[in-house]
Structure 1
Amino acid sequence: MSVKGRVAGVAVAGALSFALPIVSYYEGLNLIAYLDPVGVPTICYGHTDGVKIGQTRSVAECDRLLNAELGQAISAVDRLVKVPMPDTRRAALGSFVYNAGIGAFAKSTLLKKLNSGDILGGCNEMLRWVWAGGKKLKGLERRRQAEVKLCIQS
């Protein structure tokens, strides 16, 4: 692995250590596929890609998926956010991106505010992302509150 690759890996690892407990807590671990609140087949810690109802995974497989996908979310945050960030903010945004998706984050007012230097305004934008399938979800409200709290830490 190149030096650049090792440095990037270490950079992601710091934010990952803050984000893992948030994502695992709010996503929950399910070893058997189920339908999420909007009817998407889901398994492990909110994994949806290629999931079929009735599918099973081991805890080790779920942990590997979580680490890989959360690492990708944090890498996307690092690519898209153009202002310096502490690991706490990177973790909060990584958790958000893991849940909402890279594409949604890339087009969001949240990202625009962060990149313009409005950190508090950007972090607070996460509080608007509490809807799924046309319903306001209490679990998303609690998750966003936790993410905002971590996001505004410096």
Structure 2
Amino acid sequence: MKLATIAALAAPASAYLITGSTVNCRTGPGTSYAVKKSYTQGQDVTITCQTPGTIVNGNSIWDKTTDGCYVSDYYVQTGSSGYVTGRCAVCSAPKSNQATVDLIAEFEGFVPNIYLDPVGKPTVGYGHLCSDSNCSEVRAKYAIPLSQTNGKKLLADDMARFETCITNLSGSKVTLNLNQYGALVSWSFNVGCGNAQTSTLMSRLNNGESAATVLPQELPKWKYAGGVVLPGLVRRRDAEVALGATATTAKAIPVSC
């Protein structure tokens, strides 16, 4: 189940025109969420509720449409820069368990200063990929060199995005316990949400195949960087498979609100 959202009961749905040439409607209120469908300029869409999200050209409001996805209010002709209907009530993605945090921390390792990862991207702390060579977004919150305490805070911040990613990419046929979910959070943290979105792994899960079958078959394939097999990635995929195979009664997906 994707992140559930329900409009305020008293708020009626209203229809408005799309102003952008091609506007993506996403599974959540932000540009990091998967694209569910696209709208064309002049198309009429019906808004069921609105919620804060990624800022787009100064507008932080996102509109949920009757298609069950979110579009930036910047591209919707509501006639207002504020809210024109009820707020969406949003269920949050499940939080990863300690085993998942420990796995990611182990394989990312802790480095207090900025360094280049195996494919040349500036990185700091527990595998945080910087937005620029100076890690300006990290420096805005924490001093570099990072303390280990601040490094773990940064890791928790980064994991939240991938918890949301896996939750939103999981359709109605996907059932995951907390360890299987954690294995996928670690994997997407490593390979990126975009790669997870287009992966055969998520496609198979969304087609109704069991995670117990899919994870050990698909995760080990993600061992390449720049076309070369990296031993560290082989070990990480093995650890993720092992975590996903560890029995637990704790459920993660579908999300319960």
What letter is aligned with 2:114? A
In the TM superposition, 1:1-154 aligns within 5 A as 8=92, 12-13=94-95, 15-52=96-133, 56-82=145-171, 83-118=174-209, 119-123=211-215, 124-154=217-247
Shift of 1:53: 6.3
> Counting strand residues as a fraction of each chain, which structure ranks higher?
2
Q: Using a 3 Å threshold, how does the CA distance of structure 1 residues 95 and 149 change in structure 2: closer, same or farther?
A: same
By relative contact order (CA 8 Å, sep 6+), the higher-ranking structure is: 1
Q: CA deviation at 1:121?
A: 4.2
- Provide the identity percentage: 31
**Cα separation, 2, equivalents of 1:49 and 1:35:** 10
Q: TM-score, normalised by structure 1?
A: 0.85
For 1:52 and 1:150, locate their aligned partners in 2 and report how far apart those are by CA, in whole Å: 33
Contact 2:124 2:130 in 1 (8 A): no
Q: How far 1:78 sits from its partner (Å)?
A: 1.1
SS in 2 for 1:22: helix
Q: Give the length in aligned residue pairs.
A: 148
More helix by share: 1
Runs of 4 or more above 3 Å deviation: none
Q: Is the 8 A contact 1:35 1:41 kept in 2?
A: yes
Q: Using the alignment, how far apart are the partners of 2:150 and 2:239 within structure 1?
A: 26
For 2:98 and 2:169, locate their aligned partners in 1 and report how far apart those are by CA, in whole Å. 20
Kindly indicate whether the alpha-carbon contact (under 8 Å) linking 1:42 and 1:51 is maintained by their aligned counterparts in 2.
no
> Which consecutive residues of structure 2, in runs of 5 or more, have no partner in the other structure?
1-88, 136-143, 248-257
Instruction: Report how far residue 56 of structure 1 moved.
Output: 2.5
Counterpart secondary structure, 2:115: strand
